């Protein structure tokens, strides 16, 4: 089997994982929990094998490089990072209901990578700007941050659903919404996930600046990608600052997690396909 087959299997596996997590939530079938987690972990291993094979295939073609160099590969790694982070959160906080709000993002990313005609799926030689040892560190740090913000957005959506239901009806564990985590716990996990993502995005911006200096002779050039990365950084910086200094929480943090996610998506996807700049190679 080649990398494309492994990654194709991953797409269907994440779709099945999504259905399992949603079924656990909608029908409150707690006994599915361990099976769903194990299945998702196996799907992650299959995707990891697919990424490893793609890396190996690039060396067999004589153009060896990490599978992180174009939009197709980055979307796959984005999905991989979401699942890794989600499974760590599930292990840390001993809750699986978050999977219904996090795993669908990984499935949608893999489905987009598999079905989109805009993405080049072949393995190509690196252009000069990407021939740097900073490539792996920059991409990995940025996408771990993106994945954390994606999970935070899912948690923000969970909070809003729970809060709206609780404000209209008395909380009842027998109801569908009653099976969600308590509001204070959702808020706490959202906040911690945003801090985690903010640290990694900051590292991504720093490694990108160092890489830019070696590739283009300047640490910062106000390229659209750089500008939107900074905007996204400020969205989360302001959010975290407001929480520490003004005690913002609840619906405000939930909405800011969702708004921040849209900023992440435009920084990641929109800039590559809508705006032209030094990072335009990312769409190829």
pTM: predicted TM-score of the whole model, two decimal places: 0.93
Q: In the prediction, which pLDDT does 8 show?
A: 95
DSSP conformation letters of 218-276: -S----HHHHHHHHHHHHHHHHHHHHHHH---HHHHHHHHHHHHHHHHIIIIIHHHHS-
Domain coordinates of the chain in residue numbers? Answer: 1-123, 130-284
Contacts of 50 (CB under 8 A, 6+ apart): 3, 4, 5, 6, 7, 9, 10, 76
Q: In the prediction, which pLDDT does 230 show?
A: 94
Q: In the prediction, which pLDDT does 174 show?
A: 57
Q: In the prediction, which pLDDT does 278 show?
A: 53
Task: Print pLDDT tens along the chain (284 aa).
Answer: 889 999 999 999 999 999 999 999 988 888 888 999 999 999 999 999 999 999 999 999 888 888 988 889 999 999 999 999 999 999 999 999 999 999 999 999 999 999 988 788 888 888 776 777 888 899 999 999 999 999 999 999 999 999 887 776 655 555 667 778 899 999 999 999 999 999 999 999 999 988 887 777 788 888 888 889 999 999 999 999 999 998 888 899 999 999 999 999 999 887 877 765 555 545 54
Q: In the prediction, which pLDDT does 116 show?
A: 86
Contacts of 48 (CB under 8 A, 6+ apart): 80
Q: In the prediction, which pLDDT does 279 show?
A: 54
Q: In the prediction, which pLDDT does 231 show?
A: 95
Closest Cα partner for 253 from 194, 201, 179?
A: 194
């Amino acid at each position: 089997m080649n990398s494309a087959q492994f990654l194709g299997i991953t797409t269907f596996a994440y779709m099945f994982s999504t259905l399992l997590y949603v079924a656990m939530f909608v029908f409150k079938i707690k006994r599915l929990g361990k099976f769903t987690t194990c299945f998702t972990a196996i799907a992650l291993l299959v995707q990891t094998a697919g990424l490893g094979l793609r890396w190996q295939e690039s060396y067999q073609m004589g153009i060896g490089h990490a599978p992180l160099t174009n939009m197709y590969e980055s979307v796959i790694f984005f999905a991989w990072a979401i699942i890794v982070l989600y499974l760590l959160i599930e292990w840390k906080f001993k809750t699986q209901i978050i999977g219904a709000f996090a795993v669908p993002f990984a499935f949608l990313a893999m489905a987009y990578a598999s079905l989109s005609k805009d993405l080049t799926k072949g393995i190509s030689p690196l252009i000069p700007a990407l021939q740097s040892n900073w490539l792996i560190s920059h991409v990995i740090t940025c996408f771990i941050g993106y994945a954390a913000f994606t999970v935070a957005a899912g948690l923000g959506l969970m909070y809003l659903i729970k809060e709206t239901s609780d404000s209209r009806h008395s909380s009842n564990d027998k109801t569908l919404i009653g099976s969600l985590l308590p509001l204070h716990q959702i808020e706490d996990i959202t906040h911690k996930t945003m801090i985690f993502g903010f640290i990694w995005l900051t590292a991504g911006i720093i490694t990108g600046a160092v890489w830019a200096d070696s590739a283009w002779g300047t640490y910062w050039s106000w390229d659209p990608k750089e500008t939107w990365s900074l905007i996204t950084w400020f969205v989360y910086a302001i959010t975290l600052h407001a929480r520490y200094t003004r005690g913002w929480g609840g619906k405000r943090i939930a909405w800011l997690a969702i708004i921040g996610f849209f900023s992440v998506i435009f920084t990641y996807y929109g800039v590559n396909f809508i705006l032209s700049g030094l990072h335009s190679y990312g769409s190829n």
